[in-house]
Amino acid sequence: MKFNGTRKVKKGIPVVILLIFLSGVTHSQQFPIMDQYLVTPSSISPAFAGKNSPLEVFLTSRIEWTNIVNHPFIGSLNLSAALPKNMGLGGNILYNVAGPLENLTINLNYAYHLKLATNHQLSFGINGAYYQNVLDLSNAVLADPNDPVLAGRATISESYFNVGFGLLYSWKTLDACVTFPLLFNNKTFYNSDKVYSHILTLDRNFLVYLGYLLQPKGDWGAHFSFLYRQTQYTPWSFDIAVRAIYKEMVWFGLLYRKNNIIGITGGLSIAKGLNFNYTYEYSPSAMMGKSSGTHEITLGYKMVPKSVKPSMKDYIK
């Protein structure tokens, strides 16, 4: 871990905490909650690397609370590729900004897929991660201009490394996954102060994912998913989503997240593996219903296995 500043004086910490609270960031940070896992599960666990397609590349843009000044923004790039001998490799880059706080996360994922029996598979995934947090003080007004921690500084930043682990069991179209994106708590500038020890850091957390694709005979299908998240010192969260899928080329559905967040999602799979997905979330309790909701757009490419070669004719029948 690397911190650009002194560790001795704590006088400026309450000012920093106030800035973070005003930006809507809670005490213990966790990975930003995004909806891209609905179309690319490899974004939530390294165990999915190389499982669903020979190659996947997805870009996602998420704008939260669009009616609020300095609203949070999240951008991500997610990659996954199948390797010989039942292995998979992937990674993602995630940039998150909320008011004065910026976070950059870079993950490198590896997975091994073990066939247990016909239609039964167990996947093991590990990831190495680099994190950088930056607190922008350029527009801050200090109560004490001579504060030795904050005075004369444009930013406060720190960076650190961590590792994660994921375990995925698959049976036909059912996926059950447990993932620990962070196995260790990171020591940060604030760790010597118990009150502020979990500010500007990603604490140990885990998630549970369940996904099931219902494929009756005919053109229609349905996908059900459940995602549970738990981070130390932060309230737990969960998602429930269901999507109707037509000929594997068009889908639409609903999402519910804890704290009365309701979302609608829909997308289109274009010829040659191009995919587009849009999700809109709204909560009547967020900013007293005046946040104007959240918009998330995902655009990606998923290589179709050689055994399946769709053409434009298949999509316009």
CA distance 266 to 247: 14
Give the start-end residues of each E strand in 84-151: 87-98, 101-117, 120-136
CA distance 71 to 65: 6
CA distance 138 to 70: 14
What residues have CB less than 8 Å from 165, skipping those under 6 apart?
A: 46, 125, 126, 127, 179, 180, 183
Mean pLDDT to the nearest integer, 96-109: 91
CA distance 47 to 175: 11
Structural domains counted in the chain: 1
- Looking at residue 229, its pLDDT comes to 92
Residue 288 has pLDDT above 60, yes or no: no
| pLDDT per position as a tens digit, 183-219 | 887 766 555 555 455 555 566 788 999 999 998 888 9
| pLDDT per position as a tens digit, 12-21 | 444 444 444 4
Structural domain boundaries enclosing 141: 2-315
| pLDDT per position as a tens digit, 122-177 | 999 999 999 898 888 777 766 666 666 666 677 888 888 999 999 999 999 999 99
CA distance 74 to 103: 9
- Looking at residue 307, its pLDDT comes to 60
| pLDDT per position as a tens digit, 247-270 | 989 999 999 999 889 999 999 998
- Looking at residue 67, its pLDDT comes to 80
Asked whether the beta carbons of 229 and 205 are under 8 A apart, the reply is: yes
Residue 292 has pLDDT above 70, yes or no: yes
Q: Confidence class of residue 242 from pLDDT cuts 50, 70 and 90? A: very high
Give the tokens for residue 51.
């499982």
**pLDDT higher for 79 or 136?**
79
- Looking at residue 149, its pLDDT comes to 62
- Only one residue has tokens 């989503």, namely 241
CATH code for the domain of 115: 2.40.160.40
Picking from 38, 114, 28, the residue whose alpha carbon sits closest to that of residue 78 is 38
CA distance 277 to 24: 26
- Looking at residue 7, its pLDDT comes to 36
> Would you give the DSSP letter of residue 305?
P
Q: Considering the chain, what is the average pLDDT of its residues? A: 82
Our measurement of the distance from residue 214's CA atom to the centroid of its chain's CA atoms, rounded to an integer in Å, reads 25
